[in-house]
């Protein structure tokens, strides 16, 4: 089917619209544009795409599309702003597609605009891109469309995405910091053992003429020889472990083990628990505020969480709420969260303000996560630096103890 490119003015906003339209012929294209009440200024049949362009489009369509949460949050907030300003949804999507710099996301926005142009809803277009817009996003938008509150839901959804990404970044920083410092410390020790210690060992053998070395020096030299003779095995073993972790990290048992470890780690476990409370409260509260029924909201919240423990709790909550029990009673029996969580949920259910109470709970625990990450980092940073200094200092002292004996011998002392 031929493709026509057109330029038109929107009758309400007088904004210029540049887009493309598929139609059997020019008359059909004119009729479709008149039906949208656009003031046409230019219409021309677009040249057919080249073989290279068709191959590129097909390859991009077949490749999984990954859009960062920050980018989705920006798009959602911009769309809410344009809709609130009175610009129709179709023109809002077209404007955002024109200014999008990512080719893949621009293509997604153009397809959303085409869906709306054909008379279907925005949620119908979102449903065609599950890798970009998850089920939580889809159901929130659909609830906003049904209730006539799309602008408010989009604004709330943008805030939800912003805060969720900020929270995940804090937790990642808390978990990654000790791993990075420990890795750097290991590389420094390995470099000393492989390149510095052997030179000193050669010096000791040639200059001390068989005199016994201090016990600490013997231990460091033995460790250096052990690392040097088995360096290939260490590197190969690390590679095998890394590949195995990449392959097995999605296995249910491995995920369960990692999840359990994250909840139980000293210091880290406290942050993980509070992060899950914040994510649970914000997700469930946002869904309920948008008008999603509580059972459906629990299902979507369970799908959005990455914790197997929390998924089991939410599965139990779905069953008990469906049987007529309150959500607070389920949380009160669980041992995953502090008692204050169930107490605040009970207040929300009693007063009929559960969505607001859940969002408030998420804000409180967001702040607690921020404080806990700051406190943990302030404690870990000096502890790890002191630990690295002790290890490196021990190696240096072990190497210079025989040097003292050597200097005494050279000076005749």
Query: pLDDT tens for residues 70-94?
Result: 888 889 988 988 888 888 899 899 8
DSSP states along 14-53: --EEEEEEE-SSHHHHHHHHHHTT-EEEEEEEPPPPPHHH
In sequence order, the 6+-apart residues with CB closer than 8 A to the CB of 185 are 384, 387, 388, 391
Give the residue range(s) of CATH 1.20.81.30 domains in the chain. 268-370
> Is residue 8 within a helix (H) or strand (E), and if so which, with residue range?
strand 3-9
Cβ atoms of 79 and 96 closer than 8 Å: yes
**CA gyration radius for the chain?**
31
227, 201 Cβ separation under 8 angstroms: no
Give the integer Cα–Cα distance in Å for 286 and 162: 13
> Which CATH superfamily groups domain 268-370?
Type II secretion system (T2SS), domain F (1.20.81.30)
What residue ranges of the chain are covered by domains with CATH 3.10.20? Answer: 1-48
Look over the chain and give the mean of its residue pLDDT values, rounded to a whole number. 80
Element (H, E) at 9: strand 3-9
The CA-CA-CA angle for residues 137, 94, 6, to 5°, reads: 150
For range 369-395, the mean pLDDT:
83
User: What digits encode the pLDDT tens for the residues 107-149?
Assistant: 899 999 999 988 888 988 998 888 888 888 888 888 888 777 7
- Give the per-residue pLDDT at 346: 93
Confidence (pLDDT) at 50: 60
Report whether 300 contacts 287 (CB < 8 A): yes
pLDDT band at 249 (very low <50, low <70, confident <90, very high): low
Distances (CA, A) of 202 to 156, 189, 210, 410: 68, 19, 12, 18
SS3 state of residue 6: strand
Q: For the residues of 215-243, what is the DSSP string, one character each?
A: HHHHHHHHHHHHHHHTHHHHHHHHHHHHH
How far is 138 from 307, CA to CA, in rounded Å?
22
What percentage of the chain carries pLDDT values higher than 90? 8
Tokens of 115: 């869906």
Burial class (CB in 10 A: 0-12, 13-18, 19+), 347: middle
Cα(314)–Cα(124) distance, rounded to whole angstroms? 28
Look at the block and give the residue holding tokens 């990290």.
249
Assigned fold of 1-48: Ubiquitin-like (UB roll) (3.10.20)
- Spell out the residues 6+ positions from residue 361 whose beta carbon is closer than 8 angstroms to its own: 277, 278, 281, 285, 341, 344, 345
Q: How far apart are CA 33 and CA 19, in angstroms?
A: 11
Burial of 349 (0-12, 13-18, 19+ CB in 10 A): middle
| Per-residue pLDDT tens digits for 313-371 | 889 999 999 998 999 998 888 887 888 899 999 999 999 999 999 989 988 988 888 88
Residues contacting 325, CB < 8 A, separation 6+ = none
């Amino acid at each position: 089917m031929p493709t026509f490119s057109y330029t038109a003015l929107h009758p309400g906003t007088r904004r210029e619209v540049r887009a493309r339209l598929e139609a059997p012929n020019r008359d059909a294209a004119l009729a479709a544009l008149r039906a949208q009440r656009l003031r046409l200024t230019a219409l021309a049949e677009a040249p057919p795409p080249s073989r290279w362009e068709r191959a590129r489009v097909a390859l991009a369509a077949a490749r999984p599309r990954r859009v960062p949460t920050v980018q989705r949050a920006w798009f959602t907030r911009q769309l809410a702003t344009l809709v609130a300003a009175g610009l129709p949804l179709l023109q809002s999507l077209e404007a955002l597609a024109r200014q999008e710099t990512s080719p893949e996301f621009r293509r997604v926005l153009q397809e959303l605009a085409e869906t709306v142009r054909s008379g279907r809803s925005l949620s119908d277009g979102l449903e065609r891109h599950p890798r970009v817009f998850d089920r939580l996003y889809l159901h929130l938008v659909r609830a906003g469309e049904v209730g006539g509150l799309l602008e408010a839901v989009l604004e709330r959804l943008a805030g939800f995405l912003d805060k969720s990404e900020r929270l995940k970044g804090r937790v990642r920083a808390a978990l990654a910091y000790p791993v990075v410092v420990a890795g750097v410390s290991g590389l420094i020790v390995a470099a000393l053992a492989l390149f510095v210690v052997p030179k000193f060992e050669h010096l000791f053998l040639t200059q001390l003429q068989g005199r016994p070395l201090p016990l600490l020096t013997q231990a460091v030299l033995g460790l250096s020889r052990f690392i040097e003779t088995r360096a290939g095995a260490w590197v190969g073993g690390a590679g095998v472990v890394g590949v195995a972790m990449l392959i097995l990290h999605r296995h249910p048992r491995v995920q369960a083990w990692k999840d359990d470890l994250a909840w139980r780690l000293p210091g880290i476990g406290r942050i993980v628990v509070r992060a899950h409370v914040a994510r649970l409260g914000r997700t469930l509260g946002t869904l309920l505020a948008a008008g999603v029924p509580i059972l459906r909201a629990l299902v979507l919240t369970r799908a959005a969480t990455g914790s197997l423990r929390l998924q089991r709790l939410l599965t139990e909550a779905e069953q008990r709420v469906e049987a007529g029990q309150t959500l607070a009673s389920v949380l009160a029996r669980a041992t995953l969260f502090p008692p204050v969580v169930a107490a605040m949920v009970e207040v929300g259910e009693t007063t009929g303000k559960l969505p607001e109470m859940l969002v408030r709970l998420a804000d409180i625990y967001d702040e607690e996560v921020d404080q806990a990450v700051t406190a943990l980092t302030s404690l870990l940073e000096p502890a790890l630096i002191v630990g690295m200094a002790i290890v490196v200092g021990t190696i240096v002292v072990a190497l210079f103890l025989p040097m003292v004996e050597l200097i005494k011998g050279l000076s005749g002392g």
